Structure 1
Amino acid sequence: MAPPSFYVFVLLNGFAAAKTCCNLTIPVSIASRQGLFASIPQEGNLDATAFSQAFTTLGGNYTEQLLEGYQTLTGDYEISAKFCYPDGGSKDTVIQLLSHGIGFDKTYWDLSFNNYNYSYVNAAVAAGYSTLAIDRFGIGNSSHGDPLNTIQAQAEVEALNAITTKLRNGDISEIGHAYDKVIHVGHSFGSVQSYWLSALYPDNTDGLVLTGWAQNGSFLPMTVSAWNLHQARLNQPLRLGSASNSGLLQAFSKYSSGIVQYVQGLLRGVGVQIASQDIWEDIATTEVGNLIDGWNTTVQTLNYPNGYLIWSDLTANQFTFLLRGRYDVSLGIVAETTKHPVTTGELLTIGSAPAQSPFTGPVLVFTGENDQPFCGGNCYATGGVADNIPAEAAKSFPGASAYEAYIQPATAHGLNVHYNATAGYNYIQSWLGSHGLAA
């Protein structure tokens, strides 16, 4: 379970506007009809690799193979969130509910890097919106659970719907305000869930902004393969593992400062010379950094159990999320040091969303030109059947009042960590305003 609710206001200055924010924990009750899967080995990294092999087998359907039946998951859980609104302004009647994708948590929307110059929340607040960024059910500081049979896509959609209803009814006491309109803004898996919510509960959303998304799952096996998945608790044992790893902290601490000089000194002792750049590459871009770097000593352990899987290192991160030369490598390292896992249950159910949504409001799909998970690295490679791959998703919204697929140039899947992120943010706010969803 997540830690007890806390409510602390902070004033944050960003590139566009000052905002008042608070962190809070929101209780939700959910009932989710979802899969019941056969038990599989989930102990070590070789088990993670075996899962990836089975999941990506050509012509196979690992979800169908493991599915034993269905269950109704019911329970009370906690969702960690960050609420923001314009400093000195009104909370108004419109709020953007922000859902992150795989590999991130709620901080994806309000990155502190370079004085918040990459903050989506700042752009939304500057346009007059309130925002609520959540840690998806099962991730970050929200309630965790069994990675195979509890933390599945459907359960996360139900949690998102419960949060939405609370916003409309004014039932989040720390916010103390009801909202007439809730806009669902997602990234990647968060977009999948926002779309899914619109299909099941079309009257509970007023607008959709689906970033890093297309209605195309054909590249998912490539993504999973490229991740070279590990158990999260083994990949970053001090941050993502258990507090019982305190002994590792002592073992690693002496190596976490001056590591380049330390390694060079060792190698000189045996007559070997390696350039500082090569040592930096070995440490910062590979699994070595995940084990010995001091990032892991500065945050509370998240205690993810076996079955919570994570990509291996920064090279896997770049393949899936980042376009070389179009992002600050320093921010790429931050993304590696703050990454979060995906569960086996999420991967087995990610493709189970309805084929169409009866939603009748406006829909903006906003995807990077070089998005790998949904476009295979080229969103224009459609063979002439559509303007771009995300544009093909228009058929999933036959009743939408407006549908647009916007392609952000020179950008990969991790939209918010690329150099041109803020231009994209401003486009989204302008689009919302022109489709009846202004703050």
Structure 2
Amino acid sequence: MAPLSAFTLLFLTGLAAARVCTNVTIPIDISARQGLFQNVPSEGNLDTGAFVQAFNQRGRNYSQTLLEGFQTVTGSYRISAKFCHPDGGAGSTVQLLSHGIGFDKTYWDLPYNNYNYSYVETAIAQGYSTLAIDRFGIGNSSHGDPINTVQAQAEVEALNAVTTKLRNGEIPGVSSRFNKVIHVGHSFGSVQSVWLSALYPNNTDGLVLTGYSPDGSFLPITLAAWNLHSARLNQPLRLGDQRPAGIFNRFAQYASGPALINGISSVLHVFGITLTSQDTWNEVATTEVGDLIASWNQTVTPYNYSSGYLVTSDLTATQYVFLLAGFYDIGLGVFSEQTKQPVTIGEILTIGNAPATSSFTGPVLVFTGREDVPFCGGDCLAVTGNSAPSIPGETKMQFPNNTGGFEAYIQPNTGHGIAAHYNATAGYMVILNWLGSHGLSA
């Protein structure tokens, strides 16, 4: 049974000890050769559903169907990031953290339960500096046309530009320059880290690929399970551009915790409908009702995403793709709905364009939950047709010249969203100990 308190603010803001963190904005210039696609209707949720239907149609390459040609996207943009280092100094090694679809940079430093699930907190305690970015097009980084600008290739170029600035000491507000940059990704962030290592093998010193395998055959089931909606319609007050101030100020008094549950129960009672508090919680937190009222207490300025930015429909879709039932805090699951971020149509159309192999020779660690759905279909040990001990273990074939060490670690009792599970911190120590044993200690 889900605790009623799971729909409270869930945002404890006590600062973690022994670290110094700064929010920074990084100006970058990128040039990316990428696809020019036909316009895809995406104004309404039925449009987005039709897009996924077409994309998943058996025997059809919808990306190729929509492709009209190629173009070079150039421009100056901004990347929003959070830089953290131990209070004793930044050192010369930094981990560059790239989030996956559905999240932003806070994935790596979740404030929930006093940062108990924070990867940054654990890395800082081991002496590392970290730079967690909002990927290009997402969160507080520059947005763009969601079909023909915010594609995977442009995001990889943005990631490379940030990496170079870290090495050169050109991050605004960060005085250090770093001799070693370790790329740590999750999901789509891992895809982009592999992609960077293929295009710019000398610009990374090590890869940690969480929530990853090279098997893309589970993308259709993932897209279907997300039940994608237009972001601006799914959470109009946070992800869209609709925020009537008067309604907001009135509703904010009742928009969390028992007051919300009791208030809805009272309204239903007027119409002769009596629900238990638990049933009311289920109606609010596990349906799209929760999305309509999400983040009333949190957001001051909407993200104002345009049509073509898509999000998961609700917590039930999020659980199927990201979370293993029984092994994550339901309160953190609700929090993920209140803070979720979108994916663009352009990203979906280009996610499969990454180079098949990389000439990178340095250390590579793949760290994936046993029950990962997007990259393993729900069981990462269900291998067929090759000698790899796991589906993530097949990643070794992407690095044929690897001499710095390779390992694929399968985290038990864990779905795709590794950071949200009860055993997250133990998993973080596996990552950090592995880096230390492969010449990448802080």
- Whether the TM-score (by the shorter chain) exceeds 0.5 is yes
- In structure 2, the CA distance between the partners of 1:245 and 1:194, relative to structure 1 (3 Å rule), is farther
Q: Where in structure 2 are the equivalents of 1:6-17 lying within 5 Å?
A: 13-14=15-16
Distance apart, 1:297 and its partner CA: 5.4
Q: SS at the partner of 2:175?
A: coil
- Cross-structure match for 2:304: 303
- Work out whether residues 241 and 304 of structure 2, in 8 Å CA contact, stay in contact via their aligned partners in 1: yes
- Cross-structure match for 1:316: 317
- Cross-structure match for 2:164: 165
Letter in 2 for 1:426: M
- Cross-structure match for 2:193: 194
Q: Where in structure 2 are the equivalents of 1:269-288 lying within 5 Å?
A: 269-288=270-289
- Cross-structure match for 1:7: none
Q: SS at the partner of 1:80?
A: strand
Where does structure 2 lack aligned partners over 5 or more consecutive residues? 1-12
- Cross-structure match for 2:100: 101
Q: SS at the partner of 2:154?
A: helix
Distance apart, 1:18 and its partner CA: 1.7
Letter in 2 for 1:322: L
Per-residue CA deviation, residues 179-207 of structure 1 (Å, 9 max, x unaligned), is 11100000000000000000000000000
Asked whether 1:174 is paired with 2:173, we answer yes
Q: SS at the partner of 1:351?
A: helix
In structure 1, C-alpha distance between the alignment counterparts of 2:157 and 2:57, rounded to whole Å: 30
In structure 2, C-alpha distance between the alignment counterparts of 1:368 and 1:250, rounded to whole Å: 41
Distance apart, 1:273 and its partner CA: 2.3
- Work out whether residues 78 and 141 of structure 2, in 8 Å CA contact, stay in contact via their aligned partners in 1: yes
- In structure 2, the CA distance between the partners of 1:159 and 1:277, relative to structure 1 (3 Å rule), is same
- Work out whether residues 232 and 240 of structure 2, in 8 Å CA contact, stay in contact via their aligned partners in 1: yes
- Cross-structure match for 1:6: none
Q: SS at the partner of 2:390?
A: coil
Asked whether 1:19 is paired with 2:22, we answer no
- Cross-structure match for 2:401: 399
Q: How many residues align?
A: 426
- Cross-structure match for 1:39: 39
- In structure 2, the CA distance between the partners of 1:432 and 1:254, relative to structure 1 (3 Å rule), is closer
Q: Where in structure 2 are the equivalents of 1:21-420 lying within 5 Å?
A: 21-87=21-87, 89-242=88-241, 246=245, 249=248, 253=252, 256=255, 258-295=259-296, 298-383=299-384, 385=386, 386-401=388-403, 402-420=405-423
- Work out whether residues 237 and 243 of structure 2, in 8 Å CA contact, stay in contact via their aligned partners in 1: no
Where does structure 1 lack aligned partners over 5 or more consecutive residues? 1-10
In structure 1, C-alpha distance between the alignment counterparts of 2:250 and 2:224, rounded to whole Å: 32
- Cross-structure match for 2:436: 433
- Work out whether residues 24 and 81 of structure 2, in 8 Å CA contact, stay in contact via their aligned partners in 1: yes
In structure 2, C-alpha distance between the alignment counterparts of 1:384 and 1:62, rounded to whole Å: 27
In structure 1, C-alpha distance between the alignment counterparts of 2:195 and 2:230, rounded to whole Å: 28
- Work out whether residues 294 and 337 of structure 2, in 8 Å CA contact, stay in contact via their aligned partners in 1: no
Distance apart, 1:384 and its partner CA: 6.5
Q: SS at the partner of 1:302?
A: coil
Q: SS at the partner of 1:350?
A: helix
Q: SS at the partner of 2:141?
A: coil
Letter in 2 for 1:354: P
Distance apart, 1:383 and its partner CA: 3.0
In structure 1, C-alpha distance between the alignment counterparts of 2:91 and 2:56, rounded to whole Å: 46
In structure 2, C-alpha distance between the alignment counterparts of 1:390 and 1:293, rounded to whole Å: 35
In structure 2, C-alpha distance between the alignment counterparts of 1:253 and 1:85, rounded to whole Å: 35
Higher mean Cα deviation, 258-267 or 274-283? 258-267
Letter in 1 for 2:395: A
Q: SS at the partner of 2:282?
A: helix
Q: TM-score, normalised by structure 1?
A: 0.94
In structure 2, C-alpha distance between the alignment counterparts of 1:198 and 1:204, rounded to whole Å: 7
Per-residue CA deviation, residues 243-264 of structure 1 (Å, 9 max, x unaligned), is 5654763685576363332333
Per-residue CA deviation, residues 137-187 of structure 1 (Å, 9 max, x unaligned), is 000000000000000000000000000001111112311111111000000
C-alpha RMSD over aligned residues? 1.7
In structure 2, C-alpha distance between the alignment counterparts of 1:178 and 1:297, rounded to whole Å: 35
Distance apart, 1:57 and its partner CA: 1.0
- In structure 2, the CA distance between the partners of 1:217 and 1:294, relative to structure 1 (3 Å rule), is closer
- Cross-structure match for 1:5: none
State percent identity of aligned pairs: 64
- Work out whether residues 238 and 297 of structure 1, in 8 Å CA contact, stay in contact via their aligned partners in 2: no
- Work out whether residues 252 and 296 of structure 2, in 8 Å CA contact, stay in contact via their aligned partners in 1: no
Per-residue CA deviation, residues 311-355 of structure 1 (Å, 9 max, x unaligned), is 000000000000111000001111110000000000000000000
Q: SS at the partner of 2:47?
A: helix
- Work out whether residues 198 and 359 of structure 1, in 8 Å CA contact, stay in contact via their aligned partners in 2: yes
In structure 2, C-alpha distance between the alignment counterparts of 1:374 and 1:71, rounded to whole Å: 30
